[in-house]
Structure 1
Amino acid sequence: MSGNDSAANVRTLVVDDEREVADAYALRLRGYCDVETVYSGETALSTVADTSVDIVLLDRHMPGMSGDDVLSELVERGYYGRVVMVTAVDPGIEVLEMPFDDYLCKPVDREDIRAVIDQQRRILAYETLGEYFSAEAKRAVLEAELDATEHRDHERFVAVAERADRLETRVRRLLPDDGVLDRFDGIDRGEM
């Protein structure tokens, strides 16, 4: 994929019931990030459930399931990503209670939509990096201090190790050229 190498692997979902609008935003992102477009809240939820989506660009005013409803459902389902409202609905005081990560008023130009994708990618990457460091530190210290048979068969250890692997994969995808993971791996956590 061409474009900004740091955003190229970001998986973005554009959700808007107006096909022309959704397709226009997707066109502005094509070649910049991995983008998919859906035209309803229900389809957005099933897409997020079926695939790994990093950033959702979500319209608020849609027939059937509104963007506000989708946002609430994403939170209830424990969606681990960023949500940006991209909408013609003027924000009111109610947005103080809404768990979105950014809010853009339509129309949004190419530079702004790409800038928000890059900004949200970085935020998600560093949040994920913190979680990875925590999980990986636990795995590394147990591997250094315990006999392999003591931790390899332990259900909680296996779960932490698998989680660390998933988080590392996502961080490397979101921060492809950042050497911070290599520096973390270089710390000796054994023999306390």
Structure 2
Amino acid sequence: MPESSADASVLVVDDERDVADVYALRLSDEFETRTAYSGGAAMESLDDDVDVVLLDRHMPEISGDDVLEEIRACDVECRVIMLTAVDPDFDIIDMPFDDYLCKPVQKTDLVAAIDQQLTARRYDERLSDYLKATSKLALLQGEKRVESLEANEKVAALEQRASRIRAEMDEALASFDDIDAAFKEIGRHPGN
């Protein structure tokens, strides 16, 4: 997982080469970018280094919908943003994407959507780590005397870890608030 947005890798998938190249070029100063010009090429390019996939829905041979299903079926942990000219319909309800943007998309909107997905990805991992740490602490607190817990260096380290993760999650939530405010400012908000 990237330490910052600049370390993140984005795979742009579109059968229209010019469109894929333009989006990749727009994003290249913010992220590491790759391009794939078909569904098959997307699956060949996809690996554990890809953090976010920008995926067109209408492609010949293998549709973006099918590529999305293949991505979710493999062991690659990445976020998927559908970036398409296809207006959403009720079929999107059951689709396992993380965001859906209708073309054309301005660079600032695209960067904000990618940043939101990177933040969500970091938050998910932190939440899992936090729950593991606090679960262990709760078990020990239920079984051990306070004095023995306070004297144990590993328990102290676990408490510090849980506190650090909690602070990181609070920071991530603040990032969501900042991103939410940016989306409201540009008029793109899930509630609109």
What TM-score does the superposition give when structure 1 sets the normalisation length? Answer: 0.66
**2:72 pairs with 1:72:** no
User: Secondary structure in 2 aligned to 1:123?
Assistant: helix
- Note the 1:149-168 alignment, pairs <5 A: none
- What's the counterpart of residue 44 of structure 2? 46
User: Secondary structure in 2 aligned to 1:57?
Assistant: strand
- What's the counterpart of residue 182 of structure 2? none
- What's the counterpart of residue 183 of structure 1? 164
Bigger share in helix: 2
Count of residue pairs brought into register by the alignment: 145
> 1:16: how far off?
0.4
Change (3 A) 1:135 1:6: same
Taking the aligned partners of 1:117 and 1:24, their CA distance within structure 2 comes to: 16
Taking the aligned partners of 2:24 and 2:163, their CA distance within structure 1 comes to: 34
- What's the counterpart of residue 9 of structure 2? 11
Structure with greater contact order relative to length (CA < 8 Å, sep ≥ 6): 1
What TM-score does the superposition give when structure 2 sets the normalisation length? Answer: 0.66
Unpaired runs of 5+ residues, structure 2, are 138-160, 167-192
Specify the structure having the higher radius of gyration (Cα): 2
User: Secondary structure in 2 aligned to 1:104?
Assistant: strand
The answer to which of 124-133 and 39-48 deviates more is: 124-133
Task: State the Cα RMSD in Å.
Answer: 2.8
**2:99 pairs with 1:102:** yes
**Runs ≥4 residues deviating over 6 A:** 136-140
- Matched-pair contact (CA < 8 Å) for 2:134–2:162: no
- Note the 1:4-153 alignment, pairs <5 A: 6-48=4-46, 50-134=47-131
Change (3 A) 1:113 1:137: same
- State, as a whole percentage, how many aligned pairs show the same letter: 48
Unpaired runs of 5+ residues, structure 1, are 141-179, 186-192
